[in-house]
Amino acid sequence: MSQNSRLIFGFHSTLAKLRHDPGAIREIYVDAGRHDARLRDLVRHAEFAAVRVLPVDSPRLQAMAPGARHQGVIATVDATQRHVTLDDVLDT
């Protein structure tokens, strides 16, 4: 991971980023052992947004985010993207 990127973890944060700012996502790492509907939905959103999805084993996910509750999903996102504040959301 470069200094220009950061990680986000879990289904909710990754899906929210896919829906609202897909261009900021560089790639999504998913647990290769998961094949449930929730993961398939996330992969469909990623494919629609032309975001690369990389299946990896669970130990690699743990190594990428030690101690994080990633739910089998870790996304690398552009750290230079502007963060959305609550005021930004309320203004829309």
pLDDT tens-place values along the chain, 92 residues long: 557 889 999 999 999 999 999 999 999 999 999 999 999 999 999 999 999 999 999 999 999 999 999 999 999 999 875 666 677 667 65
Question: Which tokens belong to 91?
Answer: 């203004």
User: What CATH number has the domain bearing residue 38?
Assistant: 3.30.1330.30
The three-class DSSP label of residue 92 is coil
Q: What residue numbers bound the domain in which 49 lies?
A: 5-91
pLDDT at residue 81, rounded to an integer: 56
| Look-up of token digits 């290769």 | 32
Task: Give the number of domains in the chain.
Answer: 1
The pair phi, psi for residue 53, each rounded to 5°, is: -110, 125
